[in-house]
Structure 1
């Protein structure tokens, strides 16, 4: 089926032969799929991975109190039931009987340990902020109190009590992806090496069999998974597909069953040549440019606003990218619950000519001109739509004045975000997918307390006060109003300028069943099946 050479062919052939000897979870049939997944992961540790393409694989390996359905809505997973107090501040979870992949029972202590580890400063988790609704979570994350102060405790082996800072109706969505239980007995035995195939113990529908760096990752169905009887697939292979065009060809030829992206500019071509594999849906993924607000000249709001004004977002989405993406007029996507409709960037009614004239005036007021050019580097990832988009943005900025001089520099996604976390950039591309259905899922990344994921280093006490008040109020209307105020304030500061909301674009072979393209962009293999099987011996 695949044209592979050398060590990759030998290793994959051996793995396939081994898989053929394994009965399926349901018995007697082997079903294997081959998934393209954009990048090579740096980590599959749930508390250390930070790129969406890593978390796609992690979602196959680990499950939390809740898990996403095929259309990305939360349903109980390790949690069997959840009782919520009248004030919404105390959630009591009863766990189902479940096992780690080594046969060890998953207990309430594992749930507590997973949440504590996710927030422990020693872990180095960049994404503690989504868990801040839990009482004392921020203080734990910042190292001000011990992890045992976190508002979660094991009442008995199968009961977990969680206390929150304020009412959080979207808590199930958070717990789908963040703070998942991890096997304490394995983590403490192997340290950072616990995630290696020879050591790993998982709770999800699959476990890790092999990881050949820059070749493939092989997962196999986990027979101890609590719903193993309803998992169709026996084996899943993930391949890094940095070259999107090559990945498109591999899906069209049948070499890959899936790829989680394709070039938006190829939408018309693919719809003409292979419409049966094209899956597109409106997305919530926000593509932005982040300015390093702690570094001159981008500590000056006039400079940031000028550059933001000069970008023709509609031209980018409709002409450059083919029309499936939406130009971003704000930072919260359409369709998000509690999103007020009267929030938008304030200069959108001006013509592009007027916007660029005002941008030039702003830059001149900030001290730039022929004798003092505005020269800087725009760093971007060589993935998604950025390679096609950033040259257009560079040209938009050049139209402000000839003394606006922008150099483009591409760098690998992992290195790109590593540099952004430590502030090693002037202007850089970024992306964000909300983890729950609420405007706060976007806005939390710019709170002062968000730490390293606040790439722009935006810090505004008024913004922080608005989001804190929104999180604390039980009134949904008041909450929506407060978050709308916070979004307007953030847009006025231009610390990060929204470019577009990227559609969810997937290529899916007709042999795959159960696939639902969704707004979150995570499609667990546990919901998938194939139209063909390979008979195996029992």
Structure 2
């Protein structure tokens, strides 16, 4: 009888459990800007791709919910007294999504792949602090000469060319992520396909539908999988910001990538609980092509066009999210750094306009001279189009410049910009990959191929930036970079317009989102309640 009673009790419990509804999957739907160029972390360049890659992969270090650097695939590290040798200890429970161990050899393989000329990475320069990396990326040494070594499965030794203050912070960038050596060798060029790709981040790739979505699912082998609430994340490419906002309002998206400038005032009034605005470590600018005339030999002409742009009008009437007019390259909020500004930044706009006309005439253009014709190239976005139209209007009215606006898809613009295949001006800008002025100023070193979009070349500037890279005294390093930025601003290779504000709609159903200056929001920290 006692056995029968126990059996009946278990039967009742089982029946009750089976009657309970299964837990619904927790799925997050994120808008993600342009169609991903590639999900290869060593080859991608756009912000939208990096958001996906930060969910798929984990570098030696990663970011916390506030965008601060914390240990990632590396549990800890030590630095030698001369600051040239780093010893990283990988997590013993670090695994790829196929269950195999993440090893130091995977990082050796991946970093050699990044700097190899065959990879054609636009971010190879991220590893230039590592011994021989620059020479390797320039084809002067073999990838095997890179100063990185697997001491054992869980110990990675990295030797630098010189002490580098920002080195650890730079390792959060997607270009330094590891790939599974075994997986890449197994699938070759197909290793990125869903079902083939293995990753070591909180999620793994389930689907990649062109112009549709990228679906990630929870990685059960992630070392902190128990702390990840989401079962799946969908990323939707939506270049049209108006359409993205409509999808958010219809409940199709939980988070938007951005907001249309023209709708920010309406959203402030009607949806304040979902609006998230925050200072962003990023500067918006246009690049001159210094490979072409009349730009290559005429800094006065470049200065004239820059002075004639009313930046305050652009942020007040077009962007409207609290952006700050920019006259420098590095944004506010940069650690241990205050960006220098040119004298004319303190002038009234009327004074800048008068100086612009003077410089234009000096260069032989304007009334009584030649008519200046300028092509402005930008990627598909209503926000970028409005800014280009505003610049066109200012130049026509003040300087008599004739402009031609050219709109291109993101992938096409990226390629043309990286290869210098644009006539006059192309939309650019930079999101700091780590909180240091070097993240911005290093872009203009003459031999940083693929990122020095203007083709700027100044040996004195190169010398100052290279000296700053290895300077260990914070005050001396700051002064070197400030001197370099003053030189850069005087040469006018770009027209800085404003420092960004991150603009998102975040559903009240989403928890864990924390605004931060780097605009980093890894899905592993988020949850959503339907």
TM bucket normalised to smaller: over 0.9
Are positions 1:109 and 2:111 aligned together? no
Equivalent residue, structure 2, for 1:47: 42
| Partner of residue 452, structure 1 | 450
Alignment of 1:364-383 (within 5 A): 364-369=361-366, 370=368, 372-383=370-381
Determine if contact 1:36/1:256 at 8 Å carries over to the other structure: yes
The reply to whether residue 144 of structure 1 matches residue 150 of structure 2 is no
1:254 equivalenced with 2:255 (yes/no): no
Report 1:457-476 matches (<5 A): 457-476=455-474
| Aligned residue in 1 for 2:302 | 304
The unaligned stretches of length 5 or more in structure 1 are 1-26, 533-538
The alpha carbon displacement at 1:28 in A equals 5.4
Higher deviation after alignment, 462-471 or 315-324: 315-324
Question: Is the Cα–Cα contact under 8 Å of residues 373 and 402 in structure 2 kept in the other structure?
Answer: yes
- In structure 2, the CA distance between the partners of 1:253 and 1:52, relative to structure 1 (3 Å rule), is same
Aligned counterpart, 2:89: 94
Which of 112, 121, 125 aligns to 1:125? It is 121
Are 2:485 and 1:487 equivalent residues in the alignment?
yes
CA contact 2:212–2:236 (8 Å) conserved in 1 = yes
> What CA deviation, in whole Å up to 9, does each residue of 1:22-46 have, x standing for no partner?
xxxxx95521111110111121010
Residue in 2 that maps onto 1:23: none
- Identify the residue that residue 241 of structure 1 maps to in structure 2: 238
CA distance in 1, matches of 2:158, 2:95: 22
1:363 to 360, 364, 386: 360
Equivalent in the alignment of 1:195:
192
Q: Deviations over 1:225-259 (max 9, x none)?
A: 11111111001111111111111122122111111
1:291-334 C-alpha deviation (Å, 9 max, x unpaired): 00110011111111111111111111122222511111211111
Alignment RMSD: 1.5
Post-superposition CA distance 1:466-502 (Å, at most 9, x none): 0111111110100000000000000000001110111
**Matched-pair contact (CA < 8 Å) for 1:208–1:219:** yes
In 1, distance between residues paired with 2:63 and 2:139? 31
| Deviating more after overlay: 183-192 vs 450-459 | 183-192
**Deviates further, 27-36 or 86-95:** 27-36
Shift of 1:391: 1.0
Task: Report the Cα offset of residue 372 of structure 1.
Answer: 2.1
CA distance in 1, matches of 2:277, 2:110: 35
Contact 1:252 / 1:274 at 8 angstroms: preserved in 2?
no
**For 2:459 and 2:453, how far apart are their aligned partners in 1?**
17
Given the alignment of the two structures, is residue 214 of structure 1 paired with residue 205 of structure 2, yes or no?
no
Give the match for residue 321 of structure 1. Answer: 319
C-alpha displacement of 1:268: 2.1
C-alpha distance in 1, partners of 2:286/2:127? 25
TM-score (norm 2): 0.92
Flag the structure with larger Rg: 2
Counterpart for residue 222 of structure 2: 225
**How far apart in 2 are the matches of 1:479 and 1:365?**
37
Taking the aligned partners of 2:523 and 2:165, their CA distance within structure 1 comes to 27
Residue 277 of structure 1: aligned partner: 274
8 Å CA contact 1:31–1:530 kept in 2: the answer is yes
Greater relative contact order (CA < 8 Å, ≥ 6 in sequence): 1
Q: Which residue of 1 aligns with 2:69?
A: 74
- SS of the residue corresponding to residue 456 of structure 2 reads coil
SS of the residue corresponding to residue 354 of structure 1 reads helix
Rounded Cα–Cα distance in structure 1 between residues aligned with 2:382 and 2:335: 26
Number of the residue aligned with 1:8: none
Does structure 1 residue 443 correspond to structure 2 residue 438? no
CA distance in 2, matches of 1:376, 1:334: 31
**2:179 matched residue in structure 1:** 182
Query: Which stretches in structure 2 are left out of the alignment for 5+ residues?
Result: 1-21
Could you tell me which residue of structure 2 aligns to residue 535 of structure 1? none
Moved more, 202-211 or 127-136: 127-136
Structure 1 contact 251–257 (Cα < 8 Å) conserved = yes
Q: Is the 8 A contact 2:361 2:369 kept in 1?
A: no
Contact 2:183/2:191 (<8 A) preserved: yes
Give the stretch that moved more between structures: 244-253 or 436-445.
Answer: 244-253
Distance 1:399 1:281 in 2: 34
Q: How does 1:161-176 map to 2 (within 5 A)?
A: 161-176=157-172
State the number of aligned residues.
504
Three-state SS of the structure 1 residue aligned to 2:462 is helix
* CA-to-aligned-CA distance 1:96-117 (integer Å, 9 cap, x gap): 1211111111111001111111
Residue equivalent to 2:337: 339
